[in-house]
Chain A
Amino acid sequence: MSLWVDKYRPTTLGKLDYHKEQAAHLRKLVEGGDFPHLLVYGPSGAGKKTRIMCTLRELYGPGVEKLRIEQSQFTTPSNKKLEISTISSNYHIEVNPSDVGHNDRVVIQELIKNVAQVNQLDTSTQKNFKVVVLTEVDRLSKEAQHALRRTMEKYMATCRLILCCNSTSKVIPAIRSRCLGLRVAAPSVDEICQILTTVCKKEGLTLPREMAEKVAEKSGRNLRRALLMCEACRVQQYPFNPERDVSEPDWEIYLRETATLIAQQQSPKRLLEVRGRLYELLTHCIPPDVIMKGLLKELLQVCDGQMKAEVVHNAAYYEHRLQQGQKAIYHLEAFVAKFMAIYKRFLEEGIADIF
């Protein structure tokens, strides 16, 4: 049995629950026969991939749902072997080129070349192109993006690209201008509520309205997360009780505890303790920017007015460095130390004011 997220994923454009207008546009696009490269962007959990799969199905029929997971091998010019896992059907292939780090350029070029050179042999469809779906395009190196741009033009006749990313800020303009951009906004809280209710109905469960709202609210407009939360609640407490808290992932709780530790005491000893916890989070594969944002969110609650701005600035500052540098821990720790100093000053001023 699969997770609800997978189980109730819509498979055709017609079945999509929200942004129906966009779905209609996509259908027209497919009907028009002139299918451009697509750049699908939007926040995590907004349903980008679902939308892509629906579009592919619209293009090629149910054949695209027969997926295989494969390991493809590539050889770099320096004769290094790269392995990357791909998900493909007869009509399309999906890769996450950022898996191979700085070798992404090679993978992109080779992959698209391979796909483009093998003609669509299946005569049951009249589409004369294959589709390459690239995920996390915003994590591609600039070289790879340039290569991509060139490849896009070169193999236009036999293959189309669907690029998928969270934000177009990190995609070079040359690519943006060659693709039809599709913004997939996150579903609104109401929309999430509705989906949760329908899913629960299909499962034969009753979901109180308040509960649905609570979950939707908590998910931060992330549909995937909302569904996962809902399912977790279902396992832990059924019938649903809106009074009870929605269960959270352990790392979030842990992060919150860490923030509390920081606010409680400002000392070298405490910093060491916090560092230990940061490492713990990092080893559990929580990305450092997520840690940073989580910490900020919790820490801001103990700050007031002007101080908030200062803390936010520092968070932004260190997060930027963290993206640039090599060792995330330095920057996370610097942020914590900074906060400690700011907060301590604030407390001391507060005491001074009292007396």
Chain B
Amino acid sequence: MNGSTKEKDDEDIQITKVVFGKTKKPVTWVASSFDSFGPLPHSDQTTPFSKSVSSLPSFSSKKRASTGCSSSVKHTLPCSTDTGSRKRSRDADKRLFVQQALFQTKSSTKTSHSSDLWSERYRPNLKNDLAVHKKKVEEISEWLVKCSNQYAKGRGSAPILLLTGPPGAGKTACVKVLCGEQGWTIQEWSGTSDQAADQWASSEARTEHSLVDTYQSQSQSAVFHNFLLRANKYQALDLTGPSLGTKNDSILASRQANDKKTVIVVEEMPNIFYRDPNQFHDIIRQYKRCGKSPLVFIVSDSNNNSSGIQRLFPKDLMHQLHFDSISMNPVAPTMLVKLLTKIASAESGKLPSPSSSVIETIAVSSGGDIRSALNTLQFACGRDTLDLKAICVVPAKPQLKKHSSSTSSGARLKYGSLKRTGIGEGNHKDDLSLMLGLKDKAIFLFQSVGKVLHFKRGNHMDHQSNPNLPHHLHHFDRDPLLVDPEEVAFKSQLSGDYLTSFLHENYVEFLSSVEDLERAAQYFSDADSLSALWTAREELQTYSVSVAMRGYIHSNSDLTRHDSPRRNHGWLPLHKSRWFSASKQANENVTSARQLFKGYHWEPEVLCTEILPYINLSNPTLHDPGQISFVQEMTTFSRSTQLSRSHLERLNEKDVLEDAEEEESIYWKNSEKKDGAEIEEETNLFSSQSKVQLLQIDENSSDENVVIEEFENEGDDDFEDLFF
């Protein structure tokens, strides 16, 4: 009972948090650490006004907490003296909340609820309510059971789970519900608020701040470290830091801990770890050694931090520490539709219920993000559906792209319906699409490249405006494209340079004749030449990508018509661009060559093309072992005919660029110089290396499965559709 009610409790607190902006994630910053002591005034979840107070930058409350002045604002540190009495009243509260929580899906009992966010109000409480794929729920559930068994046995190191998935896929909800059902207590690390405060303090008013706030001076990593170890030891934690000496609380907490199983959930990583993953790894290793409670990391892999994940949780570490890893997919549109319809009908008492087509559009446009879908729905219900149409903006094309690009699964529904209704009609229907709540999510690299490579053409007849080419140019005639390359490039949020290099790596397999190859290769060469002038490089970047993409598309003479038969090349895996690693390697080789053979002081070119090869031929024994092995390495060439593909890095669906910053630095570097020769060119590229997170093919096999699984789900075996 205790565990599960506490769970609901948490959620109610969360409701009070997220008021500003639907984009903000519900964050239970300090709440979870206090919930075992602090009663929550019932008034908490009342008017929007009071909520907005609570969602103020949390450092203010933290500050109050640390200075010890208890105030009327709810999340202050409770004094240990009145814990007992409060606890009793809190239990009562809890029971009440639970009741509400259980029934709120059926009807909204309180009028004040109408101003709540639906995404919070309809937070799932039962396993069956979860709109997550059954399999995934099962997986997490099994993991928890496994933990439970281990826990019961008493010994063994702490199991660690890494849960990834796009935002709004129901990761947190899933964990919470399942923990609730299985009777686990959740200890939650809440990083964001601390970070915000920290950053604020460092940039703006560090000095002023440090006078009153000893907490701030503690480094994030230290706080995190303390959190983990304390959470493990005492089961309850005190985020306000050791300086306060909350001994009593700790003792109390540890007493409670005896009859509770605790899961530690870490959702927001302290920023510092992205910069210095090693620190994080050390902490995790330490935890693995001495920790007992299961540890769950929930990380959303949006474009911005997917490679951050790979850095924070490198494969070797995960292997070493026996990490379990579950990756969630975006919620399937069908499920979303079901859910939305249910909620809409639940709300229909007070508000006009939107039509099913609107719901479907919302479901599609949310891109599998439940939270966003619910927010949109709530907004949509707030007005008449006619108004809703008014919000729609007419031009279909870009929107179409936005939808289709949002995620593969979400978009496929759209296309599924397109197929049923016929293409012409389908296009027309798109006009009704919502601008509203549209998830402006960027496409993953994998999809961007795929969309261009598997481009589609529309029917010529639909576009009367297309001028007929004169006879002698007839072979250049093509049906209009259904994909807008510039849009793809824009959406991918990559530098043109980078996107082009990935296209380049993969285009050859999509062409069948040498003439097409010749043309396409020429266009890639053109694209690179556009970047020759560094003063104009930035401006020309976009054109450069366009040239590469459209050049390839136009060169592909197999697909000039919308109904051209597609060559059945089946599923072609995409590969990562080798250029970056190759130039990095070359650069490293030059450097080591120069270091090892310092005494020869030749120019690098002479060293690599003449001296080293001949040293290898003449008498390598005269040099030290480092030199020998290097010379051998430099003079052995792989002659395998399969060299081209087999050992290549596969492009993973989720792979993205790491850091815009590093991109910048290449621009800058390149822009400064122009006259240099290859070696320097490569030096410049060197810095861009770190952005490519390389994964070996075998490690990727799990991701590949995911892709295929999705196909099965949709019952659609057209590979190309993955990209639309």
By a beta-carbon cutoff of 8 Å, the part of chain A in contact with chain B is: 1, 3, 6, 44-45, 69, 85, 87, 94, 96, 98, 101-104, 135-136, 139-142, 170, 222, 224-225, 228-229, 231-232, 234-236, 247, 249-252, 254, 257, 266-268, 271-273, 275-277, 279-290, 318, 321, 323-331, 333-334, 336-338, 340-341, 344
A276 near B598 (CB under 8 angstroms)?
A: no
- The reply to whether the CB of B635 lies closer than 8 angstroms to some CB of chain A is yes
- The reply to whether the CB of B636 lies closer than 8 angstroms to some CB of chain A is yes
A101 near B684 (CB under 8 angstroms)?
A: yes
Q: Which 6 A-B pairs have the closest CB atoms?
A: A102-B673, A249-B613, A276-B644, A337-B521, A228-B614, A232-B617
- The reply to whether the CB of B608 lies closer than 8 angstroms to some CB of chain A is yes
On whether A283 and B644 interact (CB within 8 A), knowing A102-B673, A321-B529, the answer reads no
Q: Which residues on B sit within 8 Å (CB–CB) of A102?
A: 669, 672-673, 676, 680
Contact of A330 among B524, B583, B593, B641 (CB under 8 A): B524
Contact of A340 among B517, B520, B617 (CB under 8 A): B517
Q: How far, in angstroms, from A338 to B585 measured CA to CA in the complex?
A: 28
Within the complex, what minimum Cβ distance (angstroms) separates B721 from chain A? 24
B-side interface size class: 35 or more
B643 near A276 (CB under 8 angstroms)?
A: yes
Q: What residue of chain B has the Cβ atom nearest to residue A232's Cβ? A: B617
On whether A333 and B675 interact (CB within 8 A), knowing A232-B617, A275-B644, the answer reads no
B residues 349-406 touching A (CB-CB < 8 Å): none
B609 near A334 (CB under 8 angstroms)?
A: no
B613 near A98 (CB under 8 angstroms)?
A: no
Q: What residue of chain B has the Cβ atom nearest to residue A224's Cβ? A: B610
Within the complex, what minimum Cβ distance (angstroms) separates A334 from chain B? 4
Interface 1/0 per residue, B505-533 and A, CB below 8 Å: 00011011011011011101101110110
B508 near A268 (CB under 8 angstroms)?
A: yes
Q: How far, in angstroms, from A85 to B597 measured CA to CA in the complex?
A: 13
Q: How far, in angstroms, from A234 to B521 measured CA to CA in the complex?
A: 45
On whether A337 and B517 interact (CB within 8 A), knowing A279-B578, A285-B593, the answer reads yes
The binding surface of chain A is classed by DSSP as helix
B residues 574-631 touching A (CB-CB < 8 Å): 578-579, 582-583, 585-586, 589-590, 593-594, 598-601, 603-606, 608-611, 613-619, 622
B residues 477-521 touching A (CB-CB < 8 Å): 497, 501, 504, 508-509, 511-512, 514-515, 517-518, 520-521
On whether A228 and B524 interact (CB within 8 A), knowing A250-B635, A250-B636, the answer reads no
Q: Which residues on B sit within 8 Å (CB–CB) of A141?
A: 673-676
B643 near A273 (CB under 8 angstroms)?
A: yes
A328 near B511 (CB under 8 angstroms)?
A: no
Q: What residue of chain B has the Cβ atom nearest to residue A281's Cβ? A: B637
Contact of B673 among A101, A229, A277, A284 (CB under 8 A): A101
- The contact sample of 23 A-B pairs, CB cut-off 8 A, is A3-B600, A101-B672, A102-B669, A102-B676, A135-B603, A139-B680, A222-B610, A232-B614, A235-B617, A249-B616, A254-B639, A268-B512, A272-B509, A275-B508, A284-B634, A285-B586, A286-B609, A327-B528, A327-B579, A328-B678, A328-B681, A337-B522, A341-B515
Contact of A334 among B521, B601, B614 (CB under 8 A): B521
B676 near A6 (CB under 8 angstroms)?
A: no
- The reply to whether the CB of B33 lies closer than 8 angstroms to some CB of chain A is no
A44 near B618 (CB under 8 angstroms)?
A: no
B635 near A251 (CB under 8 angstroms)?
A: yes
On whether A272 and B635 interact (CB within 8 A), knowing A284-B608, A325-B531, A327-B501, the answer reads no
A337 near B643 (CB under 8 angstroms)?
A: no
